[in-house]
Structure 1
Amino acid sequence: MYKNIRIAVIEDDENLRFLVAHRLESENYQVVQTGDGNEAEKLILEQKPEIVLLDWMLPGKQGSEICANLRHQGFSNLIIMMTAKSQDVDKIDAYSFGVSDYITKPFSMDVLVAMIENKVKYFIGNQGVEQYTFGDTEHHPNIHSLVRNGRKIELTILENRILLYFLQNIGRVISRDELMQVVWGYSSNVNTRTLDMHIVRLRKKIELNADKPAYLQTVRGMGYKFVDNP
């Protein structure tokens, strides 16, 4: 299934880079790698991997700068930023330098593999094609955006994850715990209040009246559900 999927691992921690590369190769992905920020751009532009795992902090050059340079030179494949847990990932401006998604360190290899499998399933080979429609709104998850009446509305990385999960599970009641697990993974510093805050922000972007949501509805005592035809 994955024999033709190439992943670039850009990480200056040699032990972590070895572990990630070894696990991905055992899952039958092709892996190219480097720990040098300056080498990274050249390697990625030459090899054109379907997915790039890019460390946020690299010697000599930040991951954000590498990402921006790659986008400027026309690289459009998925770039997943590996960030320190202490960084507030939702404040990362995905649009100024083009990050597709992120994963926080430390992460388990199982979580990383599951994330990549999800990207392969939903994005590889479907870039620019996959979209969801509800009402008069289109959701383009690969570019973190909504399009309504010809106007583009940008979503944060976390808003994008939340909405995508709802659109993949229309009509199903999703508990807060399930949603937090899907969106934040194993991050222990996330609570229901943080989730509810993101839901409020998302509603302001997708609902005609955020105070009386038609699509993203609260199910008291249980969680939320997304209704396609309110």
Structure 2
Amino acid sequence: MNKEIKIALVEDDENLRFLVAERLESEGYKVLEASNGDDAENIILSQQPDIVLLDWMLPGKQGSEVCTNVRAKGFDKLIIMTTAKQQDIDKIDAYGFGVSDYITKPFNMDVLVALIDNKIKFQLNSEKSETYSFANMEHHPNTHLLIKDGRKIELTILENRILLYFLKNKNKVINREELMMEVWGYNADVNTRTLDMHIVRLRKKIETNPDYPQYLQTVRGIGYKFAYVA
């Protein structure tokens, strides 16, 4: 990697923090550690790390509160929430805490490193954050924003992942299983109805008439296709 990447690791479980820090340092990252919300906020705001790995359950302040506070003070780098419970993922997705992404515990270290490497590559390769344009819209995946006719529309983390995958695979028929794997990951316990529900919500945000979608089209019996010709 061509510059020293700083990662703030906020985790109150000492053993897990030690293991994750050791692995990240062996991958060449500089790791700043915190075990509670107050220390985390101080480190994030004073050191401005490139990525924050933030535990949802912390003594004192919750991870969501830390996230909200540092975002309010202008911290705009990546925040990846680590969480042990499915309910927390739903909360992360439902409220705009400003989380960039999340990973569920217990996580596989290789999966965590791959997620971070991937995010860093995006950041280093794009001087400005990557954006995707189609029709009268612009998608900013790093900030979960969709700008439609100049108006900002917030996307949830899952909607963001779904739209990004479609935009990278325009005009290609994608089956539901492939999409679910991409969005929820290998250990996900989701059914196709959950996916379809997210698609319906996403259509409301991008389509002029969600009942007759122009972009996010259903391919009967298979899945979906993002139809767009520039």
TM-score, normalising length: structure 2: 0.91
1:71 Cα shift? 1.4
Q: C-alpha distance in 2, partners of 1:209/1:168?
A: 23
Deviations 1:181-228 (A, max 9, x none): 111113432111111111111111111121221211222232222122
Residue of structure 1 equivalent to 2:130? 130
Residue of structure 1 equivalent to 2:220? 220
1:128 Cα shift? 5.1
Three-state SS of the structure 2 residue aligned to 1:174 is strand
Which amino acid counterpart does residue 41 of structure 1 have in structure 2? E
Residue of structure 1 equivalent to 2:147? 147
Identify if the C-alpha distance between structure 1 residues 124 and 54 changes in structure 2 by more than 3 Å, giving closer, same or farther.
farther
Q: C-alpha distance in 1, partners of 2:2/2:95?
A: 29
Residue of structure 2 equivalent to 1:198? 198
Q: C-alpha distance in 2, partners of 1:127/1:61?
A: 34
Q: C-alpha distance in 1, partners of 2:64/2:164?
A: 24
Residue of structure 1 equivalent to 2:47? 47
Q: C-alpha distance in 2, partners of 1:105/1:127?
A: 32
CA contact (8 A) 1:94 1:156 kept: yes
Q: C-alpha distance in 1, partners of 2:93/2:157?
A: 9
Residue of structure 1 equivalent to 2:182? 182
How many pairs does the alignment contain? 230
TM-score, normalising length: structure 1: 0.91
Identify if the C-alpha distance between structure 1 residues 118 and 38 changes in structure 2 by more than 3 Å, giving closer, same or farther.
same
1:229 Cα shift? 2.2
- The aligned runs of 1:27-176 (5 Å cut-off) are 27-92=27-92, 96-124=96-124, 126=126, 129-176=129-176
CA contact (8 A) 2:7 2:30 kept: yes
Which amino acid counterpart does residue 79 of structure 2 have in structure 1? I
Identify if the C-alpha distance between structure 1 residues 54 and 87 changes in structure 2 by more than 3 Å, giving closer, same or farther.
same
1:138 Cα shift? 0.9
Which amino acid counterpart does residue 130 of structure 2 have in structure 1? E
Q: C-alpha distance in 2, partners of 1:63/1:216?
A: 34
Which amino acid counterpart does residue 139 of structure 1 have in structure 2? H
Which sections of structure 1, spanning at least 5 residues, go unmatched?
A: none
Deviates more, 1:127-136 or 1:209-218: 127-136
Q: C-alpha distance in 1, partners of 2:170/2:67?
A: 33
- The aligned runs of 1:6-25 (5 Å cut-off) are 6-25=6-25
Identify if the C-alpha distance between structure 1 residues 3 and 25 changes in structure 2 by more than 3 Å, giving closer, same or farther.
farther
Q: C-alpha distance in 1, partners of 2:181/2:229?
A: 27
CA contact (8 A) 1:2 1:29 kept: no
Identify if the C-alpha distance between structure 1 residues 225 and 71 changes in structure 2 by more than 3 Å, giving closer, same or farther.
same
Three-state SS of the structure 1 residue aligned to 2:218 is strand
The Cα RMSD (Å) is: 2.0
Deviates more, 1:106-115 or 1:132-141: 106-115
1:160 Cα shift? 0.5
Three-state SS of the structure 1 residue aligned to 2:180 is helix
Which amino acid counterpart does residue 6 of structure 1 have in structure 2? K
Q: C-alpha distance in 1, partners of 2:124/2:3?
A: 13
Which amino acid counterpart does residue 164 of structure 1 have in structure 2? L
CA contact (8 A) 1:2 1:28 kept: no
